[in-house]
Amino acid sequence: MDIANIKVPAGLKMNDHNLSSVSRGRGRPRTIDPDKILDVAMTHYWRYDPADISINSICRLANVSKPSLYREFGNEDGLMRAALDRYAGVVLSEIVNILQAEESLNVTLDRLIDFICIERMESGCLFYKMWYGKHRLGSETLERLHELAEEAQALYEVFLEGHRDSGEWEPESSIAFSAQYLLHQIGLASMLRTSGQDSEFIRNTLSLAFSVFTSSRGGATLPQ
């Protein structure tokens, strides 16, 4: 999904990894398909625990040699960072679209719940899988993960500020904390999906969690 034209807060750059083809082997040059490798890596990191997917498995599934993969992405950490970028461009960009659709607060929160509960997300969220297992990540992937976390925080803050300024939401806690609350609730819900929890339970759980934003135009009081 091309998100280059999506209007986002300053610094938000959920773009795909910059890719290029390289030659490998002797004799007549052969090129590898970086997009295919990234699709394989992203899909398997997302479907399973990223720490459980070896570089040898990615090479076998993508039908590419390890030296060729390393020439393209540098190392396993470089591949994982690129796969995270691909995930941001393909999947997380859909959340950007939801938050920036300028719909009512209730409708937007319902759409976030729907997104977490769709069949496509039954394996959970790759971003949160990496976040909760970040002690096992390489430095490049970890750096990009923190960048995306900061960008997501800024995105949710802008979203909440807009509904506060329109009078639709009367916060009793700081915008920053409220944005963190939303992010963590979505993260916990995505990990429940990873564990196999049924979507109806997750839908009800998120509806209850999000009710603090919609009940009596402000809901329950969150901590400052």
For residue 184, report the phi and psi dihedrals to the nearest 5 degrees.
Answer: -70, -35
pLDDT at residue 14, as a whole number:
45
Chain mean pLDDT for the chain: 85
Task: Look at residue 193 and tell me if it is in a domain.
Answer: yes
Q: Show the 3-state SS of 174-199.
A: CHHHHHHHHHHHHHHHHHHHHCCCCH
Task: Look at residue 1 and tell me if it is in a domain.
Answer: no
Inter-residue contact 124 to 185 (CB < 8 Å):
no
CA distances from 99 to 102, 112, 115, 192, 199 (A): 7, 8, 12, 22, 21
Task: Look at residue 23 and tell me if it is in a domain.
Answer: no
Distance CA 139, CA 152 (A): 20
Distance CA 11, CA 158 (A): 13
Task: Look at residue 24 and tell me if it is in a domain.
Answer: no
pLDDT at residue 17, as a whole number:
41
pLDDT interval class at 23 (50, 70, 90): very low
Which residue intervals of the chain are DSSP H helices? 34-47, 55-62, 66-73, 76-87, 93-99, 105-117, 126-132, 139-165, 175-194, 199-214
The arithmetic mean of pLDDT across residues 15-23, rounded, is 39
Which string of b and e fits 126-156 if b means at least 16 CB within 10 Å?
A: bbbbbbeeeeebeebbbebbebbeebbbbbb
In this model, does residue 16 exceed pLDDT 80? no
The arithmetic mean of pLDDT across residues 201-212, rounded, is 95
Percentage of the chain beyond pLDDT 70 is 82
Question: How far out from the chain centre does Cα 197 lie?
Answer: 20
The arithmetic mean of pLDDT across residues 28-46, rounded, is 85
Spatial CB neighbours of 113, under 8 Å, sequence gap ≥ 6: 203, 206, 207, 210
Q: In degrees, to the nearest 5, what angle opens at C-alpha 96 toward C-alphas 90 and 38?
A: 15
pTM of the model: 0.80
pLDDT interval class at 214 (50, 70, 90): confident
Output the six-digit token pair for 93: 């960009």
Q: At 169, which CATH number?
A: 1.10.357.10
Q: What is the pLDDT of residues 108-156, one digit of tens each?
A: 999 999 999 999 899 999 999 999 999 999 999 999 999 999 999 999 9
Q: SS3 of 24, please? A: strand
Q: What is the pLDDT of residues 150-197, one digit of tens each?
A: 999 999 999 999 999 999 999 989 999 999 999 999 999 999 999 999
Inter-residue contact 128 to 187 (CB < 8 Å):
yes
Task: Look at residue 109 and tell me if it is in a domain.
Answer: yes
Task: Look at residue 219 and tell me if it is in a domain.
Answer: no
How many structural domains compose the chain? 1
The arithmetic mean of pLDDT across residues 57-83, rounded, is 95
Domain that holds residue 55: 29-214
Least confident window among 5-14, 49-58, 125-134: 5-14
In this model, does residue 13 exceed pLDDT 90? no
Task: Look at residue 14 and tell me if it is in a domain.
Answer: no
Task: Look at residue 171 and tell me if it is in a domain.
Answer: yes
